[in-house]
Amino acid sequence: MKDILARISQTFGPSGREEQIRSQLIKELTALDRDLQLKTDALGNLIATKPGGEKRLLLAAHMDEIALLVTHIDDHGFLRFAPVGGHDPKILLGAKVVFANGTAGTIGREKLKDKEDLKMDKLFIDIGAASRAEAEENCPIGSMAVFAPHFSPQGNCIIGKALDNRAGCTLLLEVIRNLPAVDYQIDFVFTVQEEVGLRGARTAAYQLQPDLAIAVDVTCTGDTPEAPVMAVELGKGPAIKVKDRSLISHPQVKNRLEETAKLLGIPYQLEILERGGTDAGSIHLAREGIPSGVISLPARYVHSPAEIIDYRDLKNAALLLCSFLQHKDLFPAL
């Protein structure tokens, strides 16, 4: 899994510009040779279907990452930008970024009267251009930049960019690799534009009409110095979501995930995320409603250039989801 995570986490793929990461995921899926039907829908979601019986399960992981969108170029070649997804200007300052064509830049700031006055409109990207014309040639208005790629295994941990949510995509690929025989259809959906409003998941759920859905994504932790209080820690196992801002998990889905973890002795945590959401937030509201839940991977420094996950949590999450697929009462009786 580490090799796959290294490849896809470093692949360029901001919200709304997922072409490169989608192509890489198609390569990874093809290499698994699991006889899946691959399709890219109108919005850009990559859907890998394992045909089966009448019932239908949707497993979703978003493939997009947060980004910066060039909005203006001044006479000296400095790029102003708008956020694509959730960004903190204090984290952005000094970060190295890269554009789709490989152009690199660093984020600088204007002189501030008060250091607390650091806002997004005080920041700019410096690509080393000497003029507007030179900058426009490499990074015209509308170009997107993401955090520069890097991947560093460190003991049990992995440090890198875009682990939100390439770690979730890796989890789905591992489930596909070890897919058990089941008597229902599974749609593995690598969604687009999650970071800007759970958009790809909404259209995918509408067209696929699943009977049950599980999203896999990262979640925050409460285990760093003076962190916000949260009962999730790195290395303590995957988190089974209870609630976030977009979803109250279906109780039968949550309970069956817990039952599976207990049966196999997989360490797990219960997650209540006070801010943010996942693809399940859109999926569970599609059509007449879809029973939905979430398996979350604990991650530190989410939406930063250097996120951290614990590889043991990723392995246990894959084991949990593979085993959950074989639950004798998988689909809720409503």
pLDDT of residue 113: 79
Tokens of 88: 């903190």
Residue from 35, 48, 56, 319 nearest 182 by CA: 56
255-282 burial, b if ≥16 CB within 10 A, otherwise e?
Answer: ebbeebbeeeebebbebebeebbbbbbb
Give the burial class of 59: count Cβ atoms within 10 A of its Cβ; 0-12 exposed, 13-18 middle, 19 or more buried: buried
Beta bridge partners, 112, equal none
Cα–Cα dist 167/316, whole Å: 13
Q: Considering the domain 67-147, what is its CATH architecture?
A: Beta Barrel (2.40)
Tokens of 137: 């040639």
Give the burial class of 225: count Cβ atoms within 10 A of its Cβ; 0-12 exposed, 13-18 middle, 19 or more buried: exposed
Whether 67-147 and 2-65+161-324 are alike in CATH topology: the answer is no
Tokens 């979730």 correspond to 168
Cα–Cα dist 162/266, whole Å: 26
pLDDT of residue 112: 85
pLDDT of residue 33: 87
pLDDT of residue 161: 98
Q: How many other CB atoms are there within 10 angstroms of residue 79's CB atom? A: 30
Task: Give the CA radius of gyration of the chain.
Answer: 20
How many H helices and E strands in the chain? 9, 17
pLDDT of residue 130: 96
pLDDT of residue 250: 97
Q: Are 236 and 205 in contact (CB under 8 A)?
A: no
Q: Output the CATH code of domain 2-65+161-324.
A: 3.40.630.10
pLDDT of residue 150: 97
Cα–Cα dist 259/270, whole Å: 13
Q: How many other CB atoms are there within 10 angstroms of residue 18's CB atom? A: 27
The per-residue pLDDT for range 89-134, each reduced to its tens digit, is 999 999 999 999 999 999 999 988 776 689 999 999 999 999 999 9
Cα–Cα dist 118/105, whole Å: 19
Beta bridge partners, 69, equal 82, 144
Q: Catalytic site residues?
A: 194
pLDDT of residue 117: 80
Q: Are 93 and 118 in contact (CB under 8 A)?
A: yes
Tokens 């109780």 correspond to 251
* Residues 102, 103, 105, 110, CA torsion sign: negative
* Intervals of the chain under pLDDT 50: none
Q: What is the DSSP string of 118-179?
A: --GGGEEEE---SSHHHHHHHS-TT-EEEEPP-EEEETTEEEES-HHHHHHHHHHHHHHHTP
3-state class (DSSP) for residue 216: strand
Delimit the domains of the chain by residue range: 2-65+161-324, 67-147
